[in-house]
Amino acid sequence: MVKGQDLAVSLEEFGLSKYEAQAYVTLITKGTISAGELAYYSNLPRTKVYPVLLKLVKKKLAIISKSKPIMCTGISPEDAFDEIVQEQINKVNGMNSLVTKLKKVSEDSKKARGSEEKRYFHLTPNYVFKQLETMIEGSKTSIHAMIDSWGLSLFSQCKDSLIHAARKNIDVRIIIPASLVGSEAFQVIPDGVKIKTSDISHNAITFDDSEILMINSNNGKGAIFLATEVLGTNQANLFEQTWKNATKINNLIAMTKTDAQEVLKIIEIINGDGLGFVLNSMLRSKNKEINMLEFLQKNGIDLESKTIDEIITLVDSTLQITCSGQARYESQGNHIIIESKLNSGHSLPWAMLLNGYLSKKGFKTKMMYHDQHNGEKIHIKVDSKLEAN
C-alpha cells in the first residue's frame, strides 16, 4: 500500500511545497473537512493552513467555501494533474522531435564532409520496445530480423506497425528458432510478413540496411548501431545466408503449436533419412511395401490415429515447406495428386507416407510417378471413395 507520506514527497516533483503536498494528500484522503481538521490531519502549523490553502486554490488543486467555518475540498487527481502530465508528455515528445532533427543535421553534415562517425546508443529494457516500434514505423525499404523468444515477443506487440509496414510493400522478413513455431507470439505475426525458421540464439534487427537494433535476451537491454559500415555489411550477409538455408513456415501460422511442431518434426526426420530410407527399401525389396508409417513411428511420430483429411493436410503442409508443392484429393478421379517444384524424388517420401497410410486403412492403391520439366507429380489412384472426415 502506498503511504500518504510517500505520495507527498512524490508530489514535490510537481512543484508543490512540502506543506502543500501534505495538505493535498490529506484533502483527497479525508474528503471535505474544515481548515482546523486539515491542520490536525496533515500536521501543518495552524498559522500555515490558510496560506497553504490559498496556494492550493491558485494551483487549481483545492476549493474552499466562503462561509464559516471554512470548509476545504481537494480536486480529484485526474482533474488536477492530467493537464500537467500531458504538458510534460508534450515536452518530452518535443524533445524527441528536436533530437531527431539534430541527428539528421549532424549526419547530413558528416556526409557533406565526407566522413561518418561510427557509434552506438544504449537502450534500457523499458525503452527497447518503444524504440523497436518507432524503428518499424520509420522504416522505408526493409526490416530483416533474426530473433529468439524475447525478440519474437516484442515483435508480436508491434502487430499494427508490422501490418502498416507490409501494406507499404516494405520487405519484412523474420527468422526464428523452430521451437517458437506455433507459439502465441508466432500466431499473431500478420500476413505480408515472410517468416522462416533456423537455429537462432540472438536478436539482431536491421532497418533499411542502415540501422541495427540488437537486444540482449538476458537482461532486455538494447543498442542501436548507426552508420556502421563493416557491421552493417556483415549483418546483411549473415541474414541473407541464414535466410537462404532457413525453412519457410508461413503456412503454419494458423496451426496449433502441437500440429505445427509435429509438421516440423516430420520434415526433420524425413529430410534427414526419409529419401535414403525410400531408395534403400526400393533396392532391397521389389514386392514389399515401403512402410513410412513404421519409419516415422520408430522416430517418435505416430500417425495411424489421424483421419484421411488430417493426413492429406499434414502432407500438403510439408510439401509447401520443403519443395513449394502441394497435396490434394480429387474426388472426380478418386485419386490424390502430389506435386513438387523440385525433381530428384523430393516428393517420393511424402507419397509413400500417404500410400502407406491408405494401405493401413484397407484401401488398395496404385501410384504413378511423373518427372516433369518444372518439377514432379505423383498420382495415387484409390480403389474406392475417400469419405470426408
All three cell numbers of 348, joined, read 517420393
Domain membership of residue 387 (yes or no) is no
Across the range 153-166, mean pLDDT stands at: 92
CATH number at residue 298: 3.30.1380
Clarify whether residues 207 and 139 are in a common domain. Answer: yes
Q: Are residues 104 and 20 in the same domain?
A: no
Distance of alpha carbon 345 from alpha carbon 122, whole angstroms: 51
Confidence of residue 2 (pLDDT cuts 50, 70, 90): very low
Q: What is the mean pLDDT of residues 46-70?
A: 87
List Cα–Cα distances, 358 to 160, 171, 293, 307, in angstroms.
44, 42, 10, 10
Residue 64 lies in a domain: yes
CATH label of the domain that carries residue 204: 3.30.870.10
Q: Is residue 159 part of a domain?
A: yes
* Residues 10 and 91 occupy one common structural domain: no
Cα–Cα distance measured from residue 181 to residue 172, given in angstroms and rounded to the nearest whole number: 18
Residues 39 and 102 in one domain: no
Specify if 388 maps to a domain.
no
Confidence of residue 387 (pLDDT cuts 50, 70, 90): low
Cell of 314: 499434414
Do 108 and 122 have their domain in common?
A: no
Convert the pLDDT of each residue in 318-327 to its tens digit: 888 888 889 9
Residues 348, 277 share a domain: yes
Q: Which of 216, 249, 282 is the last residue of a domain?
A: 249
pLDDT, greater one: 291 or 360 = 360
Instruction: Please say which residue of 249, 283, 315 terminates a domain.
Output: 249
244 and 347, same domain (yes or no): no
Q: What is the pLDDT of residues 213-271, one digit of tens each?
A: 999 988 889 888 875 566 778 888 889 999 998 888 888 888 889 888 988 888 888 87
The reply to whether 157 falls in a domain is yes
CB 195 within 8 A of CB 173: yes
Angle at 78 between CA 73 and CA 80, to 5 degrees: 55
Secondary structure percentages of the chain, helix, strand, coil, to 5? 50, 20, 30
Picking from 200, 226, 249, the residue at the C-terminal end of a domain is 249
On whether both 296 and 352 belong to a single domain, the answer is yes
Place of cell 537502450: 123
**What's the domain count of the chain?**
4
- Confirm if 339 and 323 have CB atoms less than 8 A apart: no
Please report whether residue 389 resides in a domain: no
Identify whether 52 is part of a domain. yes
Strand, coil or helix: 342: coil
Same domain, 227 and 203: yes
Nearest partner of 197 among 143, 138, 254, 260, judged by Cα: 260
* Length of the chain counted residue by residue: 389
Q: Do residues 106 and 24 share a domain?
A: no
Strand pairing class (71-74; 62-64): antiparallel
pTM of the model: 0.61
State the residue range of the domain holding 60. 4-75
Number of Cβ atoms within 10 Å of the Cβ of 272: 11
How sure is the predictor about 137, in pLDDT bands with cuts at 50, 70 and 90?
very high
| Residues 230, 303 within the same domain | no
The answer as to whether 322 is a domain residue is yes
Residue 328 and residue 378 share a domain:
yes
| 119-123 vs 142-146, strand pairing mode | unpaired
SS3 292: helix
CA distances in angstroms from 362 to 80, 114, 171, 311, listed in the order given: 78, 76, 48, 15
Segment 261-318, tens digit of pLDDT: 988 888 888 877 766 776 676 666 554 566 778 788 888 888 888 888 888 888 888 8
